[in-house]
Structure 1
Amino acid sequence: MKITNRKSTARLKRIFFLVSVVIAIAALMLFWFDLTIYALIMIGVFSLWFLFFLVADYQYIEYIDENDKIILRYYKAVGFTQKEFSSIEFPVALLKDAQFENSIFGKLSDLTLIVKTKRGVAEYPSISLSAVPYKNRKRIQQSLKSLLDM
């Protein structure tokens, strides 16, 4: 099974940058008309807007569980820096547990994969599933659960 959130990630990027540009233009116009207090308020609004996306940690996800392997590719979807791609790949037999952590009424979700190694158990860093539609999050959860039950 292959699950990706390419469309929702692209939509979130567009929304983020469009609203950021609108806020920046509004702040510049307010500075232009000597409404400094309101311009500073707009800069504060932008800071809160950026902080929201920083906390939500929206990520592009590609989940594949074929050929007795689990492959999870991801990168931060919204930001002003260059994309840093990360990838997790291991045989299904090494999967020990998959933990889903939900917060803010299930809107923000993280996935932590735990695998068996020669030295014991290792835990991959948490991956944000916030940008993945709820239906696909459930599909990933069911897929990992069925792989654990094998």
Structure 2
Amino acid sequence: MNINNRKSSVILKRTFFIVSVIMAILALLFFLLNMVASALITLGVFSVWFLFFQFADYQYIDFSSEKSRIRLRYYKAISFGGTSFNEIEFPFSALKKAVFENSFFGKNTDVTFFIRTNKGVAEYPSVSLSALKKEDRYKMANVLNSIQSTR
């Protein structure tokens, strides 16, 4: 099974940057027209806009569960500077547990993998699934739960 959110990640990224540029231009215009209060309000709205996207932690996700292996590729959809690609890959037999944590009324979901190693159990860092559709999150959870239950 393959799940990815390439299209929605691109839309999120474009929306964020277009709205940010519009707000920056508005703030600049307000300052040039000596409308300082309006400019400060625009900067405040931009700050809330920016913090929302940072809190939501939207990430591009590419999940695959084929050939007896789990592969999860991800990176921040909205970042300033270079994009840092990350990948988690392991065989089905190594999966000890996958924990899904919901926050912000179920809008933000993180997954954490616990993997068996020769030295015990290793925990991968949490990956935000906030940019995935709810149906895709359920599909991913069902795949991981079925892998856990078959062993």
Partners of 1:85 and 1:104 lie apart in 2 by 26
**What secondary structure, in the 3-state scheme, does the structure 1 residue paired with 2:106 have?**
coil
Write the mapping of 1:19-98 to structure 2, written as runs, cut at 5 A.
19-98=19-98
Q: Which moved more, 1:109-118 or 1:36-45?
A: 36-45
Match for residue 107 of structure 2? 107
Partners of 1:30 and 1:60 lie apart in 2 by 35
TM-score (normalised: structure 1): 0.97
Partners of 1:138 and 1:10 lie apart in 2 by 22
**What secondary structure, in the 3-state scheme, does the structure 1 residue paired with 2:66 have?**
coil
Partners of 2:48 and 2:82 lie apart in 1 by 22
Amino acid paired to 1:16 = F
Give the Å deviation of 1:130. Answer: 0.1
**What secondary structure, in the 3-state scheme, does the structure 2 residue paired with 1:84 have?**
coil
Match for residue 123 of structure 1? 123
Displaced runs of 4+ in structure 1, greater than 3 A?
none
Please tell me whether residue 143 in structure 1 is matched to residue 131 in structure 2: no
Match for residue 18 of structure 2? 18
1:123-150 per-position Cα deviation (integer Å, ceiling 9, x unaligned): 1000000000001000000000011111
Partners of 1:18 and 1:67 lie apart in 2 by 40
Give the Å deviation of 1:37. Answer: 2.1
Partners of 2:95 and 2:51 lie apart in 1 by 34
Q: State the superposition RMSD in angstroms.
A: 0.8
**What secondary structure, in the 3-state scheme, does the structure 1 residue paired with 2:25 have?**
helix
Aligned length: 150
Give the Å deviation of 1:11. Answer: 1.1
1:22-52 per-position Cα deviation (integer Å, ceiling 9, x unaligned): 1111101101100112212211211111111
Identity of matched residues, %:
52
Structure 2 runs not aligned, ≥5 long:
none
